[in-house]
Amino acid sequence: MTFREKFKYYKQKNPKPGFEEVLDFSQLESNFKGISSRTSVCEPTDEDLSSLGLQEVNQWRIFELIDKPGLIFIRNPFTAAGQRLWVERSLTEYTKRPSKLNLDAHGDLEPNEDWWTVCCRDSDRSAVLQRKLRWATLGYHHNWDTKKYSESNRSKFPDDLARLSRVVIRTVLGLDEFVAEAAILNYYHMDSTLSGHVDSSETNLEAPLISFSFGQSAIFLIGGTSLEDTPTPMFIHSGDIVIMSGFSRLCYHGVPRIVPAPRTPWDENRTSSACSESSVNSQDKLANICDSWSTISDYIKTSRINLNVRQVSNCSETLLKEA
Ligand SMILES: O=C(O)CCC(=O)C(=O)O
Ligand SMILES: [Fe+2]
């Protein structure tokens, strides 16, 4: 089946598709047909693990698809508090200026308003605004029309997300040079899809792309370098990380369906004194999370967030040549 045929199959509402063929890494214990297990190649510091909300590396389960070399899947390596931290940042921080949002073009927000603050404070506008947010871009802002990145359309990339990306790539691939320069944050609702595409706008196509997902689950299709190649369907659950490196970096992929999460790890280990959780070190930060957690938790019950991080240039010090 071609990419389009598989996409249509998994997208269809009536009748509902069968999920028997969908790879579920949360159910795989060891080697499974077509999949190899990998081990980490480096050890992050305890400080990195705790501030990034990651579990000890001996708990990580890392897989690679044998027929898509370089497609690496890390089964949720986050702690429950870590999941809350990244969900919270994705909603409250990364949606603030200088990020660019799809909403900017719609005139739904006044220039002095930010999306999350209005969502929390204005119940009349909240439902519409929550539904309308589909993407945010950080760092080099992806230009959806020209598909080109440019120095004149660039803002500072958040340090915390850059560090998370670098630490995971170093731990799994042993690559020290990765510099996060651009991200697309995708905000999906239960009926959202993302059609098949290849991410090839980056000047540096040798650098891996890393994506983090939280909240509801997705069926993700990873195909080949041609739309004629039959794609492999897999579930991406909350906390899972996908790295597209090597051959797989230029493979077609897309999200035909969002499915209810079988588990809600972001809600685990919360006690009434959740603010004393120790895996993330800033108490102030956690106090803030606790304040707005019920709004965040309602949002994530019917949404999926994907943070899609890329290196753009060949070397972070050189500026992109303007075409
Ligand atoms: O949501 C996903 O898992 C994939 C998103 C993606 O492919 C992209 O943003 O380019
Ligand atoms: Fe993509």
Question: Of the residues 142, 184, 193, 238, which should be mutated to test ligand 1's pocket, given the most ligand atoms within 8 Å of the CB?
Answer: 184
257 Cα: distance to centroid of ligand 2 (angstroms): 15
Based on its alpha-carbon atoms, the radius of gyration of the chain, rounded to whole angstroms, reads: 19
pLDDT reported for residue 310: 97
User: For residue 156, what pLDDT band results from cuts at 50, 70 and 90?
Assistant: very high
pTM for the whole structure:
0.93
Q: What is the mean pLDDT of residues 143-170?
A: 95
Four-point Cα dihedral 220, 226, 230, 234, nearest 10: -20
pLDDT reported for residue 277: 46
308 Cα: distance to centroid of ligand 1 (angstroms): 6
Q: What is the mean pLDDT of residues 128-151?
A: 94
Contact (CB, 8 A) for 82 and 52: yes
pLDDT reported for residue 292: 78
Distance CA 221, CA 23 (A): 10
121 Cα: distance to centroid of ligand 2 (angstroms): 33
User: For residue 17, what pLDDT band results from cuts at 50, 70 and 90?
Assistant: very high
- Residues in contact with ligand 1 (CB, 6 Å cut-off): 184, 186, 194, 199, 211, 213, 218, 220, 236, 253, 255, 306, 308
Q: Is the pLDDT of residue 32 over 90?
A: no
User: For residue 179, what pLDDT band results from cuts at 50, 70 and 90?
Assistant: very high
For all residues of the chain together, what is the average pLDDT? 91
Distance CA 259, CA 310 (A): 26
Ligand with smallest separation from the Cα of 305:
1
pLDDT reported for residue 221: 98
Ligand with smallest separation from the Cα of 198:
2
Summarised one tens digit per residue, pLDDT across range 82-125 is: 999 999 999 999 999 999 999 998 889 998 999 999 999 888 99
Q: How many CA atoms lie within 13 A of 198 on its CB side?
A: 15
- Residue having the nearest C-alpha atom to atom 2 of ligand 1: 306
pLDDT reported for residue 317: 58
- Residue having the nearest C-alpha atom to atom 3 of ligand 1: 306
pLDDT reported for residue 4: 98
pLDDT reported for residue 289: 54
pLDDT reported for residue 275: 46
Distance CA 259, CA 238 (A): 11
Residues 6+ apart with CB under 8 A from 300: 87, 214, 215, 216, 266
Residue 237 annotated in ligand binding = no
Q: What is the mean pLDDT of residues 248-261?
A: 98
**Whose CA is closest to 213, among 196, 231, 237, 177?**
237
Residues 6+ apart with CB under 8 A from 276: none
Q: Is the ipTM of this complex over 0.90?
A: yes
The angle at the Cα of 152, spanning 166 to 159, to the nearest 5 degrees, equals: 25
- Residue having the nearest C-alpha atom to atom 8 of ligand 1: 308
pLDDT reported for residue 281: 46
pLDDT reported for residue 100: 96
Q: Is the pLDDT of residue 161 over 80?
A: yes
Ligand 1 atom index nearest CA of 254:
7
Q: What is the mean pLDDT of residues 258-275?
A: 82
Summarised one tens digit per residue, pLDDT across range 287-313 is: 455 557 889 999 999 999 999 999 998
275 Cα: distance to centroid of ligand 2 (angstroms): 35
User: For residue 316, what pLDDT band results from cuts at 50, 70 and 90?
Assistant: low
Burial letters 271-299, b for 16+ CB under 10 A, else e: eeebbebebbeeeeebeebbebbebbeeb
